[in-house]
Structures are given as structure tokens and as C-alpha cells.
Amino acid sequence: MADSLKDTGGLRVKRGLADMLKGGVIMDVTTVDQAKIAEDAGAVAVMALERVPADIRAEGGVARMADPERMVGIMEAVSIPVMAKCRIGHFVEAQVLQSLGVDYIDESEVLTPADEAHHVDKWDFTVPFVCGATNLGEALRRIGEGATMVRSKGEAGTGNVVEAVRHMRSISSSIRRLRSARPEELMAEAKELGAPYELVREVAQAGSLPVVLFTAGGVATPADAALMMQLGADGVFVGSGIYKSGDPALRARAIVEATTYFTDPDIIAKVSRGLGEPMVGISMGQIPEVDRLAQRGW
Amino acid sequence: MKIGVLGLQGDVAEHVAALETAGATPVVVRRVDELGSVDGLVIPGGESTTIGKLLARFGLLEPLRRRVQSGMPVLGTCAGLILMASDVIGAEDAPHRLGVLDVSVRRNAYGRQVDSFEAAIDVAGIDRPVQVAFIRAPAIERIGDGVEVLAEWEDRPVLVRQKHMLASSFHPEITGETAIHRAFVAVATQNRET
């Protein structure tokens, strides 16, 4: 078989890896030990970063891509895919992450944005990208730029699921609206959403995003994870919710199990018992508008 | 023909769609009691460590192994191949496995995600090339005596059959192909008739 028939890094294999993560939990990790805890708990992938969002929120300062040394250590320690975050618009951090061989890049609002108007041109990369979105227009703009996986943003580092619910409901209800729109209405919808017309038409026809849709930001309990799955998420990102709790290993495992059996309250009840203290959490009223991470992204 | 798709984690929906196109009635299997009613089972792509742990924790591993050993047809793709393999070589083990297929596999042998690729491959019994995807794919490094190679890529087996079991390094389910699923439904149909 001729090698010329081999196509590396195409759209289907980029979207394909995200398909393989469906029904699973992706966990933030900052050390090799945490990565091993995540893998043992049943995570489908880990997100290597410098600090979990709750610490970024507490400590402040500029949050950047993690030290490559740290990422390489984590990549060597686990057999599951390793994702890593770059700052919004920081295409050189993305180039570095691709060079290191990470499996997915998260162009993330959790880090301090490097560009206040533009995101990375993700078509320019072999490595696939996941991006956050608060609504359908934002999701489609990111897909238009080449993202092959979307996560609802929520509000990272709060242990409060309310924003994740808001964003997931917003995306789903906009998709339902497009499904019932007449063809001649789609250009006006595209204008309203600030999204590429071709993608708007694709979503209207399919009744779903053309890529996998995970949820993130504020998931702290097995029931939170199952709630987001029942609201239509394909899978769950968890970070601070695990490591700011009393027993991270036990909670991580329970969140994995509740994500798989998200329609089964008996199993969710069983795995939720005796997990120890959850993350304390922050109510949205305590976070001034300027400190909200979800508003980063354009 | 009722074909189950193991639905603990992974690209379950893609296999369900491919099976429907191939003329089967797919059902998602997450519990032991759901396993009893199917004529065959697909173990999808996903993370083999995650699926293996969930199989063990929720008491599915032993009942599933018994059904496969007593003749239920199985198709495993990528993670499914790893979970079926009798042997996993190297440090990247997948400890909770069915171990029903006499092959040795190496996980992530085709590289990390930046090396993932699509290719058109020749498959025994299918008269045109089949478009498939290799995503952080495992390699088959040894096959037992009773194992037949149905497709190769770069001199390595990538689709094998041992009696009622089919397994592939690649994903036949995300490229819009259904030829491999049709072949599997044929195996399951033949199995039920005999």
C-alpha cells in the first residue's frame, strides 16, 4: 500500500480524538502524582497546567502556559491523552505545545489572554484544539477558526455549576431555534449570532454542533457531572472541584462513574456516598464582573 | 439482528449509526442485564484504561468474558482491540481486559495525536479500498495460530479475525464507512443460524 494514501492531521482525525473522549472525564493536573491519580480514577485524558483555576483566582497575576518540563513529565507518566492550555491568541505557546507532542490544546480563558481581539488560527496546526464558549455564536466562531472540540465555559475555579448550566442551556436552546428556522431566516440568524453562515446552516440541518461538546467550569460533585450530561454535554472537564475537596482520588472516581451512568440515579446516589468534604465554592455574587473568566474570548 | 454497543465510554453513537446503516438493530449496553438480549457486541473506540476500569467496577468484565467465550460475536475497534487482546506489551498496560483474542498489542504504537492519520486500506473479502482512521492507534505485534489477518498496513496486521471475533487497530466508524460493520453483522447472522 502506497504511503501517499496516508493523510495525517486531517479534520476527521482531529474531531475523531474528541469522539473517543465522549462519555468521559478530563481532569486538570499540575503534577505527575495528580496525573496518576486521575488515570487511576478512570479519567479519559488529563489537562496539564501550572495551577488549578481556583489557585489562579486566589493568587492572581498573569497565568501562562505551563513549564514544558512539567508537561513532558506528565506525558511520560500516563498512557492516556495529555492536553495543555495556551493563552487566548498566543499562537507561539500553541506552536510550543504542538512541538512537545501534546494531544490536544485548550485555548483557554482560564489563562490570561495574550490578544484582546483575536484567537489562534487553529487551521494552521496538526494538533487539534478545544475552545470554550458561553453561547452558540461563540462556539461557531471557534469552530470557524478550526477548533475541533468545544466546551461550555462555566466559571472555572468556583465549584459552582450555575454558569456551566447557563452556558449549556444557551447553546442547546439556540440549536433548537436554528432547527425550526426556515432556510431564508438562517442568514439573519448568522448575523445575530456573529457566526459563519455555512456553520449556521450545518447546525440547522444536523440539529447539533459539528464537533463534540463537553462542559467545564464549576463541576464539583458526581451529581453536577450527571446534571451537565443530562443537559446534553458529551463529557466533563473537572479541575479545582477535585483537588480542592477532602479526598481527591475518591471524588475523581465517583465523578467518572456518575458521568458514565448519568441517567441512573441509583448509581449516582451510591457513588456519591461518603466522599468527604466537597470544594467550598463561591457564589457568583461574590465575583466582581471584571474577575469573571467566562467573559474572556471574542 | 440485535447488536449491542458497549456504552461505558467512547464513540458509541458512531458505531450505533454505522450498525443501523449496515442493517442491524443497535442497542447501547451499560448493564449486565442488557448484555443478555444481544446477538453480538461492538466494543467501541475510547480510552481502554477507562472502559476496562468501568467494566471491572460495575461487574461486567466476567459476564462479558463468559459470553464471548461461549460464542457471542464481538467487534473491537482500537480500544476494543486492546480490551480483547490476550497480551499487552510494554509499560502502557491496560490491566482490566477480556483477554479473549490471541494477539499481543502495543498501545499508542502509531504515535501521539499529531501522528494520527486516515488511510484507504485493502480488506480481504471487500472489493474496494476501505477508508479508516488510526487515532493514537494500538499495533498488533503478534498473532496466535488461530488468528486470520484480514488487512495489513505498512506490513503489520490491522484487522484480524479469530472465529467469531473481529478486531482492528483502526476506526472504521468515523469515516462514513460501513463495510466492516456489514462484515461483522454477517458474522453475527451466520453465528445465530448455526
Quick one: three-class SS letters along B1-12?
CEEEEECCCCCH
Give which of B77, B114, B171 to mutate to test A binding, by max A Cβ within 10 Å.
Answer: B114
Q: Do B57 and A13 touch (CB under 8 A)?
A: no
Closest residue of A to B119, CA-based? A6
Give which of B34, B135, B158 to mutate to test A binding, by max A Cβ within 10 Å.
Answer: B135
Closest residue of B to A80, CA-based? B47
Q: Which residues contact A273 (CB under 8 A, 6 or more apart)?
A: none
d(CA A88, CA A10): 23
Largest pairwise CA distance in chain A: 62
Closest partner residue to B175 among A12, A17, A257, by Cβ?
A12
The model's confidence at residue B27, banded by pLDDT at 50, 70 and 90, is: very high
Closest partner residue to A16 among B9, B49, B133, by Cβ?
B133
Q: Do A16 and B135 touch (CB under 8 A)?
A: yes
pLDDT of residue B34: 95
Q: What is the pLDDT of residues A223-271, one digit of tens each?
A: 999 999 999 999 999 998 898 899 999 999 999 999 999 999 999 999 9
B194 has pLDDT over 80: no
Q: Which residues contact A219 (CB under 8 A, 6 or more apart)?
A: A154, A161, A164, A225, A228, A236, A237, A238, A241, A255
**Nearest C-alpha of chain B: how many angstroms from A262?**
11
pLDDT of residue B150: 98
Contacts of A14 in chain B (CB under 8 A): 116
Q: Which residues pair with A7 in a beta bridge?
A: B118
| Active site (catalytic) residues of B | 78, 171, 173
Q: Do A5 and B114 touch (CB under 8 A)?
A: no
DSSP string, A97-122: HHHHT-SEEEEETTSPPS-SS----G
**Nearest C-alpha of chain A: how many angstroms from B155?**
9
Averaged over B57-62, what is the pLDDT? 96
Q: What is the pLDDT of residues A51-88, one digit of tens each?
A: 999 899 889 899 999 999 999 999 999 999 999 999 99
d(CA A201, CA A103): 30
Q: Is A130 helix (H, G, I), strand (E, B) or coil?
A: strand
Q: Which residues contact A8 (CB under 8 A, 6 or more apart)?
A: A126, B114, B115, B116, B117
Q: A27-53 b/e with 16+ CB inside 10 Å = b?
A: bbbbebebbbbbbebbbbbbbbbbbbb
Averaged over B162-185, what is the pLDDT? 97
DSSP string, chain B: -EEEEE-SSSSHHHHHHHHHHTT-EEEEE-SHHHHTT-SEEEE-SS-HHHHHHHHHHTT-HHHHHHHHHTT--EEEETHHHHHHEEEEESS----S----EEEEEETTTT-SGGG-EEEEE--TT-SS-EEEEESS--EEEEE-TTPEEEEEETTEEEEEEETTEEEESSBSSSSS--HHHHHHHHHHHHHHH-
Q: What is the pLDDT of residues A113-151, one digit of tens each?
A: 999 999 999 999 999 999 999 999 999 999 999 999 999
Closest residue of A to B95, CA-based? A40
Mind listing the domains of chain B with CATH numbers?
Answer: 2-193 (3.40.50.880)
Indicate the average pLDDT of chain B: 96
Grid cell of A194 as nine digits:
456573529
d(CA A202, CA A232): 19
Q: What is the pLDDT of residues B141-160, one digit of tens each?
A: 999 999 999 999 999 999 99
Residue pair A152/A129 in contact by the 8 Å Cβ criterion = no
pLDDT of residue A290: 87
Averaged over A92-102, what is the pLDDT? 98
Q: Do A80 and B49 touch (CB under 8 A)?
A: yes
Provide the ipTM: 0.96
Averaged over A88-104, what is the pLDDT? 98
Residue pair B9/A24 in contact by the 8 Å Cβ criterion = yes
Residue B118 burial (C-beta neighbours within 10 Å; 0-12, 13-18, 19+): buried
Q: Do B50 and A44 touch (CB under 8 A)?
A: yes
Give which of B15, B47, B136 to mutate to test A binding, by max A Cβ within 10 Å.
Answer: B47
Chain A residues with at least one Cβ partner in B under 8 Å: 1, 3, 5-10, 12-17, 19-24, 39, 42-45, 79-81, 98, 101-104, 126-128, 256-257, 260-261
- State the DSSP code for A85: E
**Nearest C-alpha of chain B: how many angstroms from A235?**
9
Q: Which residues contact A276 (CB under 8 A, 6 or more apart)?
A: A245, A246, A247, A250, A251
**Nearest C-alpha of chain B: how many angstroms from A72?**
13
pLDDT of residue A1: 43
Grid cell of A16 as nine digits:
475523531
- Choice among A85, A122, A153, A244 that is catalytic: A85
Q: What is the pLDDT of residues B102-125, one digit of tens each?
A: 999 999 999 999 999 999 999 999
Q: What is the pLDDT of residues B81-99, one digit of tens each?
A: 999 999 999 877 788 999 9
Q: Do B114 and A261 touch (CB under 8 A)?
A: no
Q: Do A12 and B118 touch (CB under 8 A)?
A: yes
Total beta-carbon pairs less than 8 A apart between chain A and chain B: 130
